[in-house]
Amino acid sequence: MNSLPGKHGWRRIVVAAVLVALVTIWLAHVPLLQFAGRWLNVSTQLAAPVDDVMVLGGDLELRPLVAASIVRSGLARRVLITQVVASDEVVDGMTPPHHEIVHQVLLRSGVSADAVDLLPVIADSTQDEARCLSEYLASHPGRRVAVVTSDYHSRRTKRVFIAACGDRAADLSFIGAPTDGFAAENWWRFEPGFVQYVDEYLKLFKSLVL
Amino acid sequence: MAGIAMATVAFHAPLMRAVAGLLIVDESGSQSPAILMLNGDRCFDVAAQRVSDDEARLMLVRGNPGRLVKMGIVPPADEMARRELHKRHVPDKAVSLLSTSPVGGLELPGELVKWLLQHPETEVDVLCDRLSSRRLDVLIRRSANHDLRRKIHIVALPNRNYDETNWWRSKPGAMAVLNGLLRLGFQYSTAGQAPPWVERTDSDLEAAFRKDPRP
């Protein structure tokens, strides 16, 4: 006797399974989205002082403020900043270049001018910044560096920097700056949070595939 | 399957144009007597030309001051806009603020509606970034009824480096379309209500790198 469901029976089972899955996802969407947000953050706190703090481009406010706070706390001596490809507003002379704004944030947050180094690379991506630090570490062996980026950007940053710096990556720490407005717990409720977290997943996917 | 793949490759340009077209609402050409300047590449040039050609009245938006403004590193956006317009010989008397109090992004359509109700005889052109124009249309339609919406004309300004015909050929173009789709999708999926925006404190910043941040 054949006890397997017929064609219509299988269809009902598949439809029921899809419905159960959708209801489960809907009921659990908040913890699932929070987990997705937290998964991107692999940053750690500083267990010991470092020599330099590198501020990654892409955020003009909280990343430099965290770097300044690290220096003020005596956990680092110098801040490394990169130049970023100029936007149209910078080209038109309407706003100062990215690195100049970061420099000003650092100075106004208590970092002395001679503690800031502008790295000689114009970066267009996290990969460019990782290559830049790799070259810096090659010419400054033994330096311990804390890389400051946004918390949701730390997983991809860590992956890219470890790939670029190889053995020297052992002396790197990855610090996750918070963002104003949203965090891993509520990112999907804010337009900028939604855009940045989804962007980050897409870029992470691209970095894994390509 | 192979046929679909080949067709996609062969017709990728019209497909890509159609994708970016989803983001665009362009109602240029109305020559309204008032212009609201929001954003968009070379918006100051376009606005200055309209003041020169049509004696249009310009309105700016005073946004909530961000950290860089509060720290005195960059001027508020409306001050920067006045400076740029001044460079383009726009007289000060042609420029005013939409609202004297700071206006957040989601509050902007409501303020524009208020202004139109106070000026029932006029229409307004809104200058904005081309790939954000449908998002702006969605926001405006939430606040403006059909009659008021007809008085608002969105002027979708293209970027100098890319537009809907070639965005996939450059990284900034691809990022602009991707972010435009995400922002538009977000607005379609929400009712326009955002939770309160919380600014991080010094102790939040310290908690990022210190195990026992000072209170």
Task: DSSP for B92-104, please give it.
Answer: GGGEEES-SS---
Which helix or strand (DSSP H or E) is residue B10 part of?
helix B2-10
Query: Could you give the domains of chain A?
Result: 52-178 (3.40.50.620)
- Judged against a pLDDT cut of 60, whether residue B118 lies above it is answered with yes
Distance from CA of A17 to the nearest CA of B (A): 25
Q: State the Cα–Cα distance between residues B59 and B65, nearest whole angstrom.
A: 18
Return the number of other C-beta atoms located less than 10 Å from residue B126's C-beta.
25
Q: Which of A89, A103, A180, A199 to mutate to test the interface with B (most CBs of B within 10 A)?
A: A180
pLDDT value of position B213? 55
From chain B, the residues in CB contact with A75 under 8 A are 209-210
Which long-range contacts does A128-132 make (Cβ < 8 Å, 24+ apart)? A128/A82, A129/A54, A129/A56, A129/A57, A129/A82, A130/A157, A130/A160, A130/A161, A130/A163, A130/A164, A130/A165, A131/A164, A132/A82
pLDDT value of position B102? 85
pLDDT value of position B214? 54
What is residue B215's DSSP assignment? -
From chain A, the residues in CB contact with B203 under 8 A are none
Planar angle of CA B150, B156, B161, nearest 5 degrees: 175
Structure-token match 């987990």, residue found: A35
What's the pLDDT tens digit per position in B25-74? Answer: 999 988 899 999 999 999 999 999 999 998 899 999 999 899 999 999 99
Q: State the Cα–Cα distance between residues B134 and B188, nearest whole angstrom.
A: 11
CB B35 within 8 A of CB B125: yes
Joined together, the tokens standing for residue A149 give 């980026």
pLDDT value of position A128? 95
From chain A, the residues in CB contact with B84 under 8 A are 94
Q: Which of B209, B210, B212, B214 to mutate to test the interface with A (most CBs of A within 10 A)?
A: B209
User: Does the beta-carbon distance from B210 to A202 stay under 8 Å?
Assistant: no
Rounded average pLDDT per 10-residue block, chain A, 210 residues: 74 91 89 96 94 95 97 96 91 92 96 95 92 94 96 96 93 96 95 96 90
pLDDT value of position B212? 65
pLDDT value of position A161? 96
**Average pLDDT, rounded, for chain B:** 92
pLDDT value of position B191? 77
pLDDT value of position A197? 98
Higher pLDDT, A21 or B214: A21
pLDDT value of position B26? 97
Q: State the Cα–Cα distance between residues B187 and B191, nearest whole angstrom.
A: 7
pLDDT value of position B195? 86
Higher pLDDT, A110 or B212: A110
User: Does the beta-carbon distance from A61 to B66 stay under 8 Å?
Assistant: yes
Selecting from B73, B160, B194 the residue whose C-beta is nearest the C-beta of A108 gives B73
User: Does the beta-carbon distance from A94 to B80 stay under 8 Å?
Assistant: yes
Residue B106: closest CA among chain A residues belongs to which residue?
A: A191
